[in-house]
Amino acid sequence: MKVPILTYHATNIFGRDYASNNHVALADDLRTIARLGLRIVSAAQVVDVLLGEAAPSSVECAVALTCDDGSYFDWHDMEHPHFGPQRGFAGILRDFSGATGRCAHMTSFVIVSPAARAVLDVTCMAGRGWWRDDWWREAAREGVIAIENHSWDHNHATLPHTVQHEQRKGTFSTIASHVDADAEIRAAADWLDAHLAPCRSTLFAYPYGEWNDYLVREYFPHHGHEHRLRAAFTGEPHPVEADADRWLLPRYVCGHHWKTPAELERLLRDTTTR
């Protein structure tokens, strides 16, 4: 098994071209994926194979797509204040499926706390109510975009208060005790399962791509009855292979680990079974 997982950020809109706009990049990358004869599978399918719950053949010649933080730009077509109309990620995936007949799927790791998102909407976006969760239930039911756990409040530096008990913010490496992990991870899983039932949250993506020994060696493996998660994703640039640690699954991040269509093509040629 060898599957690259590609990560996008729908709020990365700093211009209108591939390098400055993740919507342009995603649409272009889907064409590259199709041209190389690769299939798109879900991140959950990759985890199924890793955990021996599905056959490796189900993720052969495949790539999985994820995005982080969970704003309206994942789901809705939006009018950006500076860069005009933006097709939402969901629309880009549907356009691709419609044009090629191929399956398209993305897993969106969302910041769960409604209060935190209301603040981040102002501190990190245009303050127009674009970080609400009113699309999550429909997305979870429709199936093109799965909703998964990106923590309660991202322990985000711009929040006046986070659930990290010492207010050591702007990093996820300080989530290193049971009380903090419970507040950032288990509470987020509870909220998602309560609001998106019957869908269950089973995957986690580390905010800032940051983890620590407590989470990887103690909390995730030994408190499964509390958080109910099956795997956690970083932003380390490797494909998922059979010997991967389920609590440290790697992902490639658009704009960091590849910056052009040619770089993505090289990455995919090097990291997929073909």
Q: Which residues of this chain interact with Zn ion, rule CB under 5 A?
A: 68-69, 207
We find the least distance from the C-beta atom of residue 100 to Zn ion, in angstroms, to be 30
- Residue in the block written with tokens 């109910």: 228
| Residue showing the smallest CB distance to Zn ion in the complex | 68
| Per-residue tokens: 243 | 């010997």
Count of CB atoms within 10 A of residue 79's CB?
A: 10
At closest approach, how far in Å is the CB of 207 from Zn ion? 5
Residues 6+ apart with CB under 8 A from 162: 116, 153, 154, 155, 156, 169
Q: Which two tokens stand for residue 74?
A: 């994942």
Q: How far apart are CA 21 and CA 213, in angstroms?
A: 34
* CB closer to Zn ion out of 96 and 252: 252
Q: Enumerate long-range contacts of 122-129, CB under 8 Å, 24 or more apart.
A: 123/158, 123/159, 124/11, 124/158, 125/11, 125/71, 126/81
Least distance to Zn ion, CB of residue 66, Å? 11
CA 124 to chain CA centroid, Å, is: 18
Residue whose CB is less far from Zn ion, 48 or 133: 133
Q: Which is nearer to Zn ion, 206 or 220 (CB)?
A: 206
**Rounded least distance, CB 250 to Zn ion, Å:** 16
Closest CA to 118 of 134, 141, 137, 140: 134
Name the residue nearer to Zn ion (CB basis): 69 or 184. Answer: 69
Rounded least distance, CB 151 to Zn ion, Å? 8
Choose between 45 and 66: whose C-beta lies nearer to Zn ion: 66
